Every structure is written in structure tokens, then in C-alpha cells.
Amino acid sequence: MLNKLISKWGHKLKLQAAKALTLSVFLMLPPAVVAENPPVHRYRQANGIIAFSDRAPKNRPYQLLRFDCFACSVQSAVLWHNTPLFLQKYQQEITSAAKQHQLDPALLRAVIHAESAFDAKALSKSGAAGLMQLMPETATDLGVTNVWHQQQNIQGGAAYLSSLLKRYKGNIKLAMAAYNAGPGAVDKHQGIPPYTETQLYVERVVLLWSRYQKAI
């Protein structure tokens, strides 16, 4: 089961340039905006037509689309050393999942921050959904029946993260690289893959982890 799950992950780097170009044309956004990987809000208008906007609609449910995870943008303008932390959100769910899967709660919180910025409605163009950005097929394998259910999403992501840490003998950086680029890429390069996005992702998660350890 573990190998099956690991072989199916690695959803962050595929066809990102094509996705960004497609959505930028569809939304008529300038290239400079697309390069920053802004969130896009998808919602249904009163007339039933699906609309997209860079602003959250008022009094309407919406889904937050991203080109990739929150901490994946190469040109991110976020100041990672002092960006506000999420110290209270989903406290019970994170504590429970961390205990069940023998994870540091600070690390689990850092990964959620990096993946979705604690937005339970986050949805990437590749289909990764929820707080820990689970792909539908992987979520099913992990026993997650509803990726939008915060507790299920965190439990599923924690289970997968735990499996990666066991695979890489507790090496946090390799586990984070695999969470982002897929274990296949980590195994192929026998270390963190030479992808700028993945290298930055690992660096940012480790930084967030350190900050959460000190704060909670």
C-alpha cells in the first residue's frame, strides 16, 4: 500500500507552465500577474454562469484556485521569516493527526501553511484539494472520502507525510522534497531534485517548521 501511495503522488510540477499560460489567457491576466501565481476565485453567478476573479465574491460560496501550492512560487513576495503564523487554526485536528501518525505538530502545521496557507477551500489546477492539497486518487487510497472535510484532509496528509518520513529514514528535507516533487524524483536524483520550485519549497517548509516549533 505504501509503495502504491508513493508512486501516485508527485502532483506539483507537471505541466505548470502550460497551466499558467492557459489560465492567464482564459482570465486575460497579464503575464506579470501569472508569474506571481495569484489565487483565483471560482464561483457561480446568480445567472448560473461560472465566473473567475482575483477577488473573493461577497455572499457567495467559492473555490480558491492556485497554480501550485502556497510556498511553491519561485517569485513569491511572501516574507517567509516573518509572515504571520497560524497558531490556533485546526488545533484539535492537527494535534490528533500528529499524535496518531507520530509527527511533530509544528511540522504538520508548517506543511499545511506551505500547501494551502490554511485555506480549506484551496484547489490547484492539477486537482490537489484542501488544507494539505490531496489529489483525488491519493486521497481515496488514504481513506479520505471527502477532501473538503478538514479533519479527513489533515489525517490523510499526515498519513502520507508519515510514510515519506519512514521511507527517507526521518530525513525532513527529503520527505518535503518528495511531498512536493514526488518520491520518484527524489529517488532518481538521490536527494532533493534540482528543481528551483522544490528547493525553495523545502527551504520554506523547514523555515516555517522552525518558526512553529518556537511559537507553539
> What's the one-letter identity of residue 82?
N
203 is catalytic: no
Catalytic residue among 36, 115, 197, 203: 115
Say which amino acid occupies 149.
Answer: H
Which three-class secondary structure string do you get for the chain? CHHHHHHHCCCCCCCHHHHHHHHHHHHCCCHHHHHCCCCEEEEECCCCCEEEECCCCCCCCEEEEECCCCCCCCCCCCCCCCCCCCCCCCHHHHHHHHHHCCCCHHHHHHHHHHHHCCCCCEEECCCCECCCCECHHHHHHCCCCCCCCHHHHHHHHHHHHHHHHHHCCCCHHHHHHHHHHCHHHHHHHCCCCCCHHHHHHHHHHHHHHHHHHHHC
Distance from chain centroid for Cα 162 = 16
Catalytic (active-site) positions:
115
